[in-house]
Structure 1
Amino acid sequence: MNDLKQRLLNIQANDWEIPQEIDTYQLALEAMENIGSLDPVLRDDLILTILWKMITDNMLSKEQLRNLLELSLSKKHLFCEVNADSVFNRAFTVLIVRIIISYHNNIEDFLTEEEIVKVYTDVIKYIRSEEDTRGYVAEKGWAHAIAHGADALRALALCNSMEADHLQEILEVIKEKVCISSSVYTHMESERLVTAATNVIGRNILSEQGIINWVRSFEDIEKPSSLPQSQYFLENTLRFIRALYFRLKYKKMPANIINQLENTSHNLNSYFNNVNPA
């Protein structure tokens, strides 16, 4: 058994209490070194949990958190070389970014505005470049890169440093990832993207008309003309629009936005019925 895995299993068995003799920062670095492991128990159950605990329980100094964030955004992790299995490294690294940003938002705002904008720029770049849309992978566990990327956007949207142009770009990236035609999202990716969009809209920084225009723009995207791509595109897009409709309606967001979501859903569904007649 992997030595790190055994040590983390021992910590897990002790209710996640880390022995005092263990250097938490060195443990964090070792966890990051193995965050792309193909062992789902090590990667998801152990490494992700221990890093989350160390970050949120103030076991790492602010300088160590900065170093961990810089490491996460490096070519070793978020921008690592793309191959069949490197998605696990990227997908779980972006969750570490999300955890650190959430710590900044909710516990202690230790990052400067410039640092937040740098994280935002890198996360946007990463999500735009991520092409692996797999959710759960047999024997290897969760990849879920798009959902995890959405979680990072969700946290960034709540940063005080995010201004209107940043929030608008987050919405545009969400739209790009929703409207894919290479596959159908089947592991709740749409809901995670909806949460990110809801956080953007809930900031009340973007104008109501701007959000309405963004919703309407889903109708204007060039749609694939052949099957199964047209089916994939419409299923992904309709699922997102409808999920966002119910989320915003529940949160009592402005009626004009909700009405536009209803209209866009109807128009996309009409297009679907025209290209796929019964």
Structure 2
Amino acid sequence: MTDWAQVREAGYAVPEGRSTGELVAELMGMLRSPDPVVRDRQAYAVLATWIGRGVLTAEELQALGDEMIPRFGDPEIQARTFAPLILDCIVSAGVYEPHWVPPFERWYVAEEDLRGYDEKLGWLHAIAHGADLLGTLGQHAAVEPIQMLRLGIGRLLTPTSYVLRDMEDDRLGYALAATLTRDDLTESDAVEWLDPVIRALSNPPAEGITPEVTNTIRTLRVVYVLADHSLRVGDEKKLTPIPHREQVKTRLADVFRIVTPYYL
């Protein structure tokens, strides 16, 4: 068994005399561990670093991505929520496969365990980790941006008893805003993804403001702020504006006015 703590201390250098295939297989097993130190600080930290540094070949990255897909159906929550993080690293490194997207979309909308942090399992972050991948896919030329915008709204409007609390709304709001920076997004697509929200809020449930409504409004407020002030996308140091910012802000204001007419 590899001493992964020592690997971290050595600056994530690949252990001598070991193949990356053998090491990645070991890390894959650790990535679904309920121990947050093993899973997050060791397995994820090493894999993310190696992927970012180009240690793994394109073929190895593709195989690793393929191995992530079944984890969206894993019975263990930590296995499910760390799959999109690894896929995010892989796609960001330049390797993308279209068949990775539908399983991710199905999981993201359907996931019921939305806890950010658990005292025993550590960080789970289904919404935030999924948002990171959503934002990366939303900026990928092979993915239609409207597809990711609709996915984000579908996730927000899915009924839940959980009110987001660990900055998940910020992460998803950023992902949606980053997707809106695509210059091939039409003006109508830049605002029509919000139509389901307007319909949902115009026909409120009898119980009043539900958790999913709270989550949706808080997330869209983040999108409004970023549309108003622009945002940093990827490794860019300069701010990137949203092309249809005024139209997006106007439609977002229409959304907010339904729930909070007293400040608009």
Q: What does residue 261 of structure 1 align with?
A: 252
Retained in 2: the 8 A contact 1:134–1:143?
A: yes
Q: What does residue 23 of structure 1 align with?
A: 19
Structure 1 residue 79 displacement after superposition: 2.1
Distance in 1, Cα, partners of 2:49 & 2:60: 14
Residue among 155, 159, 176 paired with 2:154: 176
Equivalent positions of 1:176-195 (< 5 A) are 176-179=154-157, 180-195=159-174
RMSD: 1.9
AA paired with 1:61? T
> Is residue 2:28 matched to residue 1:32?
yes
Q: Deviation per CA, 1:116-137, whole angstroms, max 9, x where unpaired? A: x212222212212222111100
Q: What does residue 276 of structure 1 align with?
A: none
- C-alpha spacing 1:223/1:133, structure 2 compared with 1 (3 Å): farther
Retained in 2: the 8 A contact 1:212–1:256?
A: yes
> Is residue 2:45 matched to residue 1:49?
yes
Q: What does residue 77 of structure 2 align with?
A: 87
Retained in 1: the 8 A contact 2:174–2:222?
A: no
The percentage of counterpart residues that share the same residue type is 26
Q: What does residue 202 of structure 1 align with?
A: 181
TM-score (norm 1): 0.83
Q: Deviation per CA, 1:82-136, whole angstroms, max 9, x where unpaired? A: 3xxx1100111211111000001xxxxx54xxx2x21222221221222211110
- C-alpha spacing 1:34/1:19, structure 2 compared with 1 (3 Å): closer
AA paired with 1:168? I
AA paired with 1:53? T
Structure 2: unaligned runs, 5 residues or longer: 231-240
Residue among 82, 105, 111 paired with 1:130: 111
Distance in 1, Cα, partners of 2:204 & 2:27: 42
How many residues in Structure 1 have an aligned counterpart in Structure 2?
A: 247
Q: What does residue 215 of structure 1 align with?
A: 194
- C-alpha spacing 1:36/1:159, structure 2 compared with 1 (3 Å): same
Q: What does residue 242 of structure 1 align with?
A: 221
> 1:161 aligns to what SS in structure 2?
coil
Equivalent positions of 1:94-133 (< 5 A) are 94-104=84-94, 110-111=95-96, 115=97, 117-133=98-114
Runs of 4+ residues deviating >3 angstroms: none
AA paired with 1:159? H
Q: What does residue 10 of structure 2 align with?
A: 14
- C-alpha spacing 1:233/1:223, structure 2 compared with 1 (3 Å): farther
Distance in 2, Cα, partners of 1:182 & 1:170: 24
